[in-house]
Amino acid sequence: TSLYNNLCRIMAESLDAVIVSVEYRLVPEVCFPEQFHDAHRATKHFLQPEVLAEYSVDPSRVAISGDSAGGNLAAAVCQELSKDQNLTVRPKLQALIYPVLQAFDFNTPSYQQNMNMPVLPRYVMINYWLDYFNAGYHLAPSLLINNHTALDVGQALSYRGRLNWTSLLPSSFKKSYKPVVQTTGEAEIIRQIPALLDVRAVPLLADSQTLQLQPKTYILTCENDVLRDDGVMYAKRLENAGVEVTLDHFHDCFHGCMIFTIWPTDFSAGAQTRNSYIKWLDENL
């Protein structure tokens, strides 16, 4: 869209950088994992030394970035590339803008706090996940109360510690919210949609060995966003794995705000987040 074209143009000018925007295919044309495959193929192609040379790109100064669903793909692609023994060029940085990183727990403090917050209320985010996995909306009420990851759902047990927000979030984010953990749930949901636990779709569930391989990371989060805690937890898990992380949190901003910098949606939140993001890239790339 023109909003993203504007952001990419400003990034290119501000950073004196080559910006490649991957036009991955969308729902309903294709569903997971095709979007991941599109982003992964495009990134691997661009990282070839001869392709980088064609665009006069310094192979030691490449970053992978994305916002929201694009942040999901950026994180997943970075994880996949980090395990590829055949790569000769690897990204120096990853920069994730209010990324969506998990579908395990729809009752994190930020999901509870912002459940009805524009532009991304919780029920919309759950429906987006169901669209991504080509699953029916009739499953939404069960996901809403975490029936898909209840204590009796054996497939989910090994992942629970990787998304324990009671230990991964600071008290300023936990506030007075309580975990929603069902004792008895619906194991058939995971059997129907195994992608709910596929790290290519939910990068926050990656193991520590994979996280140790990730490049220097920037994560931008907004207080008024159901996805706030996805980014904060990923930052903490990366930090625990020894990765250098910058968590850039905006207390007065909302999901998607970075692209709202053109009239009539010319918001201060857009300029604040965009400028901070570009400043970090300029200083670290």
Q: Give the residue numbers marked as catalytic.
A: 68
What radius of gyration, in Å, describes the C-alpha atoms of the chain? 18
Tracing tokens 């930052």 back to the chain, one arrives at 235
Tracing tokens 């901070």 back to the chain, one arrives at 276
* 18: β partners: none
Q: Exposure string (b/e) for 193-226, b if CB count within 10 Å is 16 or more?
A: bebbbbbbbbbbbbeeebbebbbbbbbbbbbbbb
Q: Are 72 and 66 in contact (CB under 8 A)?
A: yes
Q: Are 203 and 101 in contact (CB under 8 A)?
A: yes
